[in-house]
Amino acid sequence: MNSKLLSQVSAYIGRNMGLHYPPDRYSELEARLLRMIPEKTVEDADDFFEQLIHRPFTYELRNQLATSLTVGETYFFRSVKLFEELEKILDKVILKRRKENHLHLNIWSAGCSTGEEPYSIAMTLLHLLPDILDWNISILGTDINPVSLKKAEKAMYSEWSFRNCKENLKTMHFIPRKDRWEVTQNIREMVRFRFLNLIRDPFPSLSSSIIGEDVIFCKNVMMYFDETVQNCLIDRLFNTLVEGGCLVVDPVEYSASRFSNFTSHRVKDYVFYLKQRKEIDTVKEISKSPPLKIKKTIKKPVFKTIKVSKKKAVTDLVEPVKTAEKLVLEDLLKRAKELANLGKHEEALKATEQYQKVDKATPESYYTRSMIYLALGQQENAKQELEKLMFLASDHLMGSFHLACLYKSAGKNEAVNRQWKFLKAGLKKLDSDELVPDSDGMSAERLLELVEIMSNDK
Ligand SMILES: C[S@@+](CC[C@H](N)C(=O)[O-])C[C@H]1O[C@@H](n2cnc3c(N)ncnc32)[C@H](O)[C@@H]1O
């Protein structure tokens, strides 16, 4: 194939999936992509590639590309020593949470492949927490490869997945099944899996519950991206961690310059990247701030200062009038989201309670509360808030999406189908690249794609 076409294919893959194929890997890219062509259906490979770069990046195409191009190499307790050192870091977080009496932990395995990594994390936590039943633990595994995710959900592994672990691991956490090993139910219940494209999907995001993470594993994933994509990803991972949270990468990915936002914490031969900002200036602790007093009588309009261009008519320049009361309330909701992002869920809930003492009619406060409950793993509370939201704003697309997911996990099929139908109709009314309100940056096309996947996934 001509190298100009290959460079266009490589750019298309980089743009949509982040995967980096420089010229010296063009032949590998070509060989991998050619596997996607069913035998003898295409006369000319160039035609196939020409069509590919002009195709919209639909979820079918993405699934095919992810299956052909990603490398899913993984196994249980990959880097045993690193896991041992990680235990010490987790011990400290656990101690802190016990002192605060906030028994929750959020852990995200980004690029989890077939699931060995998030299950290894669950096994580690089970060992560290004798009172695990009192804890609210969320371990989320995400990947771009749908075939890997299916395998992760099945939780059935061959000997090859145990190539680096102690023999007693199998007896502790697996049930033998012919020539395979199935992860025990208690460990399976600790881990959820979900599709997520690290390059295109939004995070941190309340709406996807990828927010306020205590630990993020992003091991052996970044190496497949180019430097610009890596830097952008590292920034977003930083923003997704709670203050004091920890990013775990593989030793081959260590880099002082690339992780300069983080404080590097060296334990023996391993480096853990900690989010330790000098000071948090944007968020005042809600518990320490004086109780909110809002005079209901304030009616004075407040205008935002806008730089005036002489050419513009003055009428274009005035933003919608907002009362001081409204601005204070908006600030409170904003603060609730920031607190949730810092992992301070209880305080975030308090902020929304204060908000609702003054205003019970604004849908956004119910949506924010539902997202906080989801982050806490309190699904029933989240569902109640979403139902209140839909009562007030029956056209709220993200509300409907989350409600559908909750109904789905509760097996309420009729209610789920109603929500999917409503959502598909609502999303088709938007332009494909229009951002869905309250979705933290998800386009209508992307959400529709997710809805299609989930509604077909019985
Ligand atoms: C080598 S595996 C790493 C598995 C595990 N983290 C480990 O260290 O053992 C790399 C994974 O990254 C995933 N990946 C590649 N590009 C991705 C993207 N844009 N978004 C999400 N996952 C991606 C691949 O599908 C693959 O499963």
Nearest-CA residue for atom 7 of ligand 1: 74
How many Å lie between the centroid of ligand 1 and the Cα of residue 144? 7
How many Å lie between the centroid of ligand 1 and the Cα of residue 377? 25
Task: Round to whole Å and give the CA distance between 404 and 398.
Answer: 10
Nearest-CA residue for atom 12 of ligand 1: 111
Domain layout of the chain by residue ranges:
3-69, 80-274, 301-456
**Full-model pTM:** 0.73
What is the pLDDT tens value at each position of the chain, 458 positions in all? 678 889 999 999 998 888 999 999 999 999 899 888 776 556 677 888 888 898 888 878 888 899 899 888 999 999 888 999 999 999 999 999 999 888 989 999 999 999 999 999 999 999 999 999 999 899 999 999 999 999 999 999 999 999 888 888 999 999 999 999 999 999 999 999 999 999 888 888 877 778 889 999 999 999 999 889 999 999 999 989 988 899 999 988 988 888 999 999 988 889 999 998 644 333 343 334 343 443 333 333 322 322 333 333 333 333 444 566 676 778 888 888 888 877 778 889 999 999 998 888 889 999 999 988 887 767 889 999 999 999 999 899 999 998 888 888 788 889 989 999 999 999 999 988 888 888 877 888 878 877 876 776 65
Q: Say if ligand 1 is within 6 A of residue 230 CB.
A: no
The pLDDT score that the predictor gives to residue 41 is 59
How many Å lie between the centroid of ligand 1 and the Cα of residue 138? 20
Topology of domain 80-274, per CATH? Answer: Rossmann fold (3.40.50)
The pLDDT score that the predictor gives to residue 316 is 38
Ligand 1 pocket mutation, candidates 76, 143, 150, 208, criterion most atoms within 8 A of CB: 143
The pLDDT score that the predictor gives to residue 433 is 81
The pLDDT score that the predictor gives to residue 13 is 93
How many Å lie between the centroid of ligand 1 and the Cα of residue 17? 11
Task: Give the nearest ligand 1 atom to 78 CA.
Answer: 9
How many Å lie between the centroid of ligand 1 and the Cα of residue 270? 21
Find the angle CA(147)-CA(140)-CA(62) to the nearest 5 degrees: 35
Q: Say if ligand 1 is within 6 A of residue 73 CB.
A: yes
Q: Say if ligand 1 is within 6 A of residue 143 CB.
A: yes
Residue 322: burial class (beta carbons within 10 Å; 0-12, 13-18, 19+): middle
Q: Say if ligand 1 is within 6 A of residue 221 CB.
A: yes
The pLDDT score that the predictor gives to residue 56 is 84
Name 191's bridge partners. Answer: 139
Class of domain 301-456: mainly alpha
Tokens of residue 86, six digits: 């990680």
How many Å lie between the centroid of ligand 1 and the Cα of residue 457? 22
Contact 127, 227 (CB under 8 A): no
The pLDDT score that the predictor gives to residue 267 is 85
Task: Round to whole Å and give the CA distance between 219 and 108.
Answer: 11
Tokens of residue 132, six digits: 């695990």
The pLDDT score that the predictor gives to residue 320 is 46
Tokens of residue 120, six digits: 């290894």
Ligand 1 pocket mutation, candidates 71, 113, 151, criterion most atoms within 8 A of CB: 113
Ligand 1 pocket mutation, candidates 144, 229, 240, criterion most atoms within 8 A of CB: 144
Q: Say if ligand 1 is within 6 A of residue 117 CB.
A: yes
The pLDDT score that the predictor gives to residue 39 is 66
Q: Say if ligand 1 is within 6 A of residue 232 CB.
A: no
Task: Give the nearest ligand 1 atom to 74 CA.
Answer: 9
